Amino acid sequence: MKKILCFGDSNTYGYIPGSGARYGDDARWSGLLCQMLKDKYEIIEAGCNNRTGFCENQAGIKETGFKILPLYLAKKPDCVVLAIGINDLQTEYNISFYEIKTGLEKMIDAIKKELPDAKIILLCPAEISNALFNSYFSTMFDKSSIEKSKHLPAIYKNVAKDKNCKFIDLNKIAKVSDKDGLHYEAEEHKKIAQAIYNELENLTIY
């Protein structure tokens, strides 16, 4: 059976805004894909809370996307859904738009080098909202993080085009929760799962 790797951060893991618990298999978007595609594909769920994509994360290798990704590529997925990058906007990293672009490109290049025939679907995270400031995460992100998040769609779209990846802008599909400005309510996870499912239906995965 063909395999699809869902690689991302807390929104792939299924972090529940407000409580910090994890959505079940029937609620988080990667779990929903498992149910929707169980007769067609094996879904490898690889979400992790606080995972960065391009920046060295002090929490460790598991939370540092570009370091842990090769472990999952070793599972030889036929398609990679890459949903990463919002945690790189934390104030401690002070990341530039150029670093976001090159970080994405390096991750995609790593996938292509290891798995030349794999399809890649690049998900751009929805922009952070001001609800962030009423949550625990206000200690990790600031106004500049919110402003930077508004520029991600253009960066991700251009990288996807240059690297011949499929592109999904979550800003057009889902909105972040009013509880923390970062994570998605269950209804939004359904929309995300459906959007990815629709994209997969249009892909020929060899």
Does pLDDT of 202 surpass 90?
no
Is residue 206 very low, low, confident or very high in pLDDT (cuts 50, 70, 90)? low
What pTM value is reported for the model? 0.95
Residue-range domain boundaries for the chain: 2-201
Q: Could you tell me which residues come within 8 angstroms of residue 118 by beta carbon, excluding any fewer than 6 positions away?
A: 77, 78, 79, 80, 111, 112
CATH placement of domain 2-201: 3.40.50.1110
Paired tokens of 24? 């079940």
Do 124 and 160 form a contact (C-beta atoms < 8 A)? Answer: no
| Predicted confidence band of residue 92 (pLDDT cuts 50, 70, 90) | very high
Query: For residues 154 and 58, which has the higher predicted lDDT (pLDDT)?
Result: 154
